[in-house]
Amino acid sequence: MRLSRIIIKNFRNFKSLDVRLGEHAVVLGENKVGKTNLLFALRLILDPSLADSLRRLRLDDFWDGLPRPLTADDAIEISVEFRDFEKSENLLAVLADHLVKPEPMVARITYRFQPLPGLKEAPRSESDYEFVIFGGDRPDNAIGYDLRRWMPLDLFPALRDAESDLARWSRSPLRPLLDRASRTIDAKAMSSIASEVHKTTSKIADLPELSSVVDEVNDQLITMVGSKHAVETALGFVPTEPDRLLRALQLMIDAGKRGVSEASLGSANVLYLALKQLEHQYLVDEGERQHTFLAIEEPEAHLHPHLQRLIYRNYLQARAEAEPPREARSILLTTHSPNVASVAPLSNIVVLRRVPGEEHTIGKSLRGVKLEPEERDDLERYIDVTRGELFFSKGVILVEGDAEKFLLPALAKLHDPDLDFDALGITVCSISGTNFAPYLQLLGPSGLDIPFAVLTDFDPKGEAVSQEDADPDDEGVGTSYGKNRVVNQIMVHLINSDEWPSLAFADVLGRAKKHGVFLNDFTFEVDLFKAGAEDEFAEAIRGLTTNTKMHERFDELAADPESIDPEQFLKDIDSLGKGRVAQRLASIFLSHGSDVCPPYIAAALEYMKAKLA
Amino acid sequence: MTITLYAKAAEELRGNEDQWRAYESAGNCAVLAGPGAGKTKTITVKIAKLLGEDVRRPRRVACITYSNACVGELLTRFRKLGVGEDDRLLLSTVHSFCLTELVLPYGRMAGVDLPDPLVVASTAQSRDAFQEAYKRALGGQPPKWYRTEFDKLRRTIVDRDSTEWKTWPTRETEVVTAYDALLLERGFIDFDGLVLTGLRLVENHEWIRRAIRAKYPIIVIDEYQDLGLPLHRMVLSLMKKVGVRIIAVGDPDQSIYGFTGAKPERVPELVEG
């Protein structure tokens, strides 16, 4: 089973959130965006350990933007939908009364905090409100503890204390495991062990030096409260009744030398998660519950980055998309850790983002973004390598290769001091000669909906340099460069598919800039050179190679930029490595304060600036 | 080990071979016997045994009977067996089963035309609609005997697309059609309508059968002879198509509600399943 959709209206940060989820959910968002509130919304419906008194919300819990005083029509509503449960008879038995769609089955549970029905006037105080939880589309189909018991949400909160939970028997995830194991222990054997323990313990306590301590304590107690109220104390390690003896068992670390309380916070957290995993499986095996939603706030807390990636990669392991989830457990993580984000399968990503100027939070997920398997692999690899940077971006500039990636931040800052990419949260993302399409899906309105611009080459890498314009009537041919590429590989993803067939090639091309797609005249380096960077190129080449022939060529170019032979020029740069040249150029630009921004890049920067304004 | 109440009660069944076989049965089972043969006792002890041994939460047993009086009678017996308040047992009349387990949760989703909100018509409201329907279809007042014939027709020919229905005298079918339309128009469903709708939901939708099986892997029906063709077909569909375990108890010679379209000879059909 999986939690497939969350809809929230008028609750805390959320005016109207509607987000679809994959098998697990990795919820990303800045501080204060509402990650904890999202989890609390789910707890209202699914957490059996949440007291009903907390299910009664308060007037403060209404979204702040809702005009006050509240009217009789204002209600807080939280709905969750479930899918992929119908193969389990037990889960179907739990959810059969709450279906909203039959094939495939979708069940929905709704929590509502609403004015009492039949109020004569507008609600004025909290006592005019009630909460209801119901299944399906039927408000009279009330839901109580049972559902939460069968498919509970188990929260591992941000301010957790894994260590003390491990130490306290009643909360320890070790308890059910030991309980199960102890069922088969022979009672006689157990009680003889208990008496052995008792005997040994007594030997220590009976040492005269120690027994006098006990006498002293007991005397003091009697002096304080009199013999009637004083409890009699004795020294011992563990209770000696067989049942209690088991409960006194503790997990030890370092081959039994130290208790868990001495473990690092990190190890305690790992241990806790491992035990929880076993506990959940145990509870399902025993028929105590049918599914667990394990919510972990700040899963990165106390964990070394490598460990974060290792643990959560394993937790969130992608299964084949077509295969319905088998595990009786779903994971919900709320985090701003790039390490956790970067190992999550794309379909599990949920990004929470504040809508600028409207003071509420929306959610965007990548469930339902249509990608070919290779494209998905490419993207996941990119995101893994870049530590999920894209997910946290406010704006993205997609470029062809590393050269642009290295140079763009410098070009932008020198062109317009306001354009500090780090401060603005702008990421330059290199598609490294692959296809723009999957990135457009990821960033586009049906994906994360992050503002983006595309910088593309008229002449892509490796093509013959002198590329006269292709036949202007050459429509729809899948050649992969220049205007064709813009139209048939980029714009096709950005223009409404209803409108697409009616548009001529030139129409589409004409709209490119409006959609943030900017094409240069040649290729990045050539355009940069022509923007007046001839001296900087010469300086860079001088610093990168001892090839005097090349020095001469670039010196001549600096003296007479018009004489450029793009083929030779690019060959030289390629021989040194485009990336190396770009890095060197970036530091030269910065040290000279050169504003040499090619027009197509300047246009893209303007576009991005306007989008983020 | 403590002896459960039902195990103690079962001892009294041991002497009667048929009762004992029913008690020990592991699959579909039909109990046929005349009045005073201990049918109700057998069935209640059997259900207590099912709850004690076969049914695990969150799944349940449904026990369906004809009237509220029968429900009351069964409940008293279940209390004596210590399972009266067991939430794993749904004890229900056929009408309320159809309403709460089929029509309300699935009717609209399956595209059935239902009034919103759904109101079950009182006898008076139903009578009124019937008379109006008669007037619209045939004119004038229905003769006294007509209602019985009308009910019988409505209950026995369930499929309005069937040849049987299409070749039936239109004088009669038209009244049924007019009545159904009128009731819907007035925002009502009647008792027979609940069962007929329930039947159509079960017969036409695999997903509904699976949902019912998940919730109620075992369905026990008391007073089977009185429950009519629609319920009989519903039971067959659940039993044969998705393997719901059916335990039915009936009196082949006695149908106090004989005019309802119930046919006692249907009970044995179950045994073969």
Confidence of residue A217 (pLDDT cuts 50, 70, 90): confident
Within 8 A by CB and 6+ apart from A156, the residues are: A272, A273, A276, A294, A295, A296, A297
The mean-pLDDT minimum among A257-261, A598-602, B88-92 falls in A257-261
A442 has a pLDDT exceeding 50: yes
Query: What is the share, in percent, of chain A residues with pLDDT greater than 90?
Result: 52
Query: What is the share, in percent, of chain B residues with pLDDT greater than 90?
Result: 63
A196 touches chain B (CB under 8 A): no
B256 has a pLDDT exceeding 70: no
pLDDT at A208: 85
CA distance A5 to A21: 6
Higher-scoring residue by pLDDT: A95, A339: A95
pLDDT at A475: 46
Verdict on whether the full-model pTM lies above 0.90: no
Contact: B57, A287; criterion CB under 8 Å: yes
List CB contacts (< 8 A) between A94 and chain B. Answer: 58
- Angle subtended at Cα A493 by Cα A490 and Cα A498, rounded to the nearest 5 degrees: 135
Residues written for chain A: 613
List CB contacts (< 8 A) between A89 and chain B. Answer: 59, 213-214, 217
pLDDT at A98: 97
Average of per-residue pLDDT across A575-593: 94
The mean-pLDDT minimum among A143-157, A244-258, A264-278 falls in A244-258
Omega cis (within 30) before A409? no
Within 10 A of B250 (CB to CB), how many other CB atoms are there?
25
Contact: B58, A97; criterion CB under 8 Å: no
Contact: B104, A138; criterion CB under 8 Å: yes
pLDDT at A177: 82
Q: Which residue of A has its CA nearest to B56?
A: A287
The minimum CA-CA distance between A138 and chain B, rounded to whole Å, is: 8
Here the tokens at position A38 are 């999202």
List CB contacts (< 8 A) between A139 and chain B. Answer: none
pLDDT at A100: 97
Which residues on chain B place their C-beta less than 8 Å from a C-beta of chain A? 56-60, 104-106, 108-110, 205, 207-208, 210-215, 217
Residue of A82, A91, A99, A141 to mutate, testing the B interface (most B Cβ within 10 Å of its Cβ): A99
| Nearest alpha carbon to residue A365 among A345, A389, A338 | A345
Here the tokens at position B207 are 């997903």
pLDDT at B78: 94
pLDDT at A573: 94
A503 touches chain B (CB under 8 A): no
Tell me how far apart the terminal alpha carbons of chain A are, to the nearest angstrom: 42
pLDDT at B259: 37
Contact: A146, B58; criterion CB under 8 Å: yes
CB A503 within 8 A of CB A495: yes
A565 has a pLDDT exceeding 50: yes
pLDDT, tens only, B61-96? 999 998 999 999 999 999 999 998 899 999 999 999
Average of per-residue pLDDT across A26-34: 91
pLDDT, tens only, A114-169? 999 988 888 989 999 999 999 999 999 999 888 999 999 999 888 777 777 777 77
Give Cα B120 to chain centroid, integer Å.
17
Q: For chain A, list the domains and their CATH numbers.
A: 1-152+291-371 (3.40.50.300), 166-265 (no CATH)
pLDDT, tens only, B190-232? 999 999 999 999 999 999 999 999 999 999 999 888 888 889 8
pLDDT, tens only, A325-371? 567 889 999 998 888 888 888 989 999 999 888 899 999 998 878 88
Separation in Å, CA A300 to CA A270, A311, A340, B19, B21: 11, 10, 7, 64, 62
pLDDT at A275: 86
Contact: A100, B109; criterion CB under 8 Å: yes
Contact: B60, A93; criterion CB under 8 Å: yes
pLDDT at B19: 86
A545 touches chain B (CB under 8 A): no
Average of per-residue pLDDT across B106-119: 93
pLDDT at A468: 41
CA distance B157 to B166: 10
B134 has a pLDDT exceeding 90: yes
Question: Of A311-320, B26-35, B82-91, which one has max mean pLDDT?
Answer: B82-91
